[in-house]
Amino acid sequence: MSTSDWMPGVANPWTRFALIVVIALAVAGLLRRVVNAVLRRFAIHHPMGASIIRRANAPMEAIVPLAMLLVAFRAAPDEPARLVRVLEHVVGVALIVAVTWFIVRCIGALEAAVTRFNPIDLEDNLRARRLQTQVRVLSRTAMVVVVVLGTAVVLMTFPGVRQFGASLLASAGLAGLAVGLAAKPVLGNLIAGIQIALTQPIRIDDVVIVEGEWGRVAEITSTYVVVKIWDERRMIVPLQYFIENPFQNWTRTSSQILGSVLLWFDYGLPLEPLRGELERLCKNAAEWDGRVMVLQVVDSNDKAMQVRALVSSADSGKSFDLRCKVREGLIAFVRREFPTFLPRYRADLDATEPVVPLPR
């Protein structure tokens, strides 16, 4: 059934086409209002869905009219055919771009919603860090894949580009190999990102030792990881590094950690008063979590003995502060109560040997 059959009073084909376009846009506006009403009702009962709807609203405003315009172009006049094909192609490309934009915004909204409902500024944030890491890495990877696919679909709508690509694939073996080698780091980091999201050797806010530097994982992108060093520096590390190289993760399963303080004292120092002072220091320190408090002699030489105080804390930051408090407190205690037992050099003098006067 042609448009002239259900618009018999309109003889001019371009006039009929213009009316069809107006009707399509009106239907698109009505459909958009209905969809908005349904989505708003859905958002009332689903807070996470509300975040996705809010972010995806802008591309949705373009998708519905473009889709209706593409349908309306089926009723376009046959002449001039070139102009009609160009307009239809432009609308089709715009629709592909809008759909790609819509999917990317939905992925970003999902990531933001997970981050919002799983904050990491809590005492026990292991589950939140695990979820944030998985969603952040997978969402960035998905965004890259969606953009690449959208670009490929747009390019495939141009016959000249499609033919050029086919001839290039047929005749460029060495060039293809060179491109593959050049893209190896990018693809390697992309695959490493998926591995990190699934196996999670690192997570957001993990405490790690990388290249001898202590820091926290501040950001994980699709290609690199930002480690915030303790002195406010930022270390940028490729994702592949955490797959191919060993590193320390102090919060892999728990943030609890043991800290040690090593001190040298004279052999004559009694240990029981020192253990009592360690107990007093730990009980008065807010950083001590009450799990471990041990004082042991771990080494000795011909001059002194080495004493180790082993204490526990809830995380590495508190452990550092607690170690400093214990170290300062034990040194002050020994200086105050047993000053003669601090490490010192000794020499034995034999009184039976004659004293030889120095020459003048």
pLDDT tens by residue, the chain, 360 residues: 444 554 554 455 666 666 766 777 777 777 777 776 776 676 666 666 666 667 777 777 777 777 777 777 766 665 555 666 777 778 888 888 888 988 888 888 888 877 777 777 666 666 777 777 778 878 888 888 888 888 878 877 777 665 554 444 444 444 444 445 445 566 677 777 777 777 888 888 889 999 999 999 998 887 889 999 989 999 999 888 988 899 999 888 888 899 999 999 999 999 999 999 999 999 999 999 999 999 999 999 888 999 999 999 998 889 999 999 999 999 999 999 999 888 876 666 565 656 556 555
* Phi, psi dihedral angles at 51 (to 5 degrees): -65, -40
Residue pair 288/282 in contact by the 8 Å Cβ criterion: yes
The rounded radius of gyration (Å) of the Cα atoms in the chain is 36
pTM attached to this predicted model: 0.56
Tell me the C-alpha distance between 23 and 69, whole Å.
10
Rounded Cα distance, 233 and 224, in Å: 16
Return the SS3 of 310.
strand
What is the DSSP annotation of 3-52?
Answer: HHHH-TT---HHHHHHHHHHHHHHHHHHHHHHHHHHHHHHHHH-HHHHHH
Q: Measured between alpha carbons, how far is 168 from 334 in angstroms, rounded to an integer?
A: 80
Q: Which of 219, 252, 201, 192 is nearest to 115 (CA)?
A: 219
Q: Please, which residues have CB within 8 angstroms of residue 288's CB and are 6 or more apart in sequence?
A: 282, 311, 312, 313, 322
Residue 306, H or E segment:
strand 305-313
Q: Tell me how far apart the alpha carbons of residues 257 and 251 are, in angstroms, rounded to a whole number.
A: 9
Regarding beta strands 248-249 and 234-238, do their DSSP bridges make them parallel or antiparallel, or are they unpaired?
A: unpaired
Note the helical H segments in 157-258: 159-171, 173-182, 184-199, 241-244
Determine the pLDDT at residue 228. Answer: 93
Q: Alpha carbon 30 to chain centroid distance? A: 41
Closest CA to 234 of 255, 219, 246, 244: 219
In angstroms, the CA 196 to CA 191 distance is: 9
Residues 6+ apart with CB under 8 A from 109: 51, 52, 53, 54, 55, 56
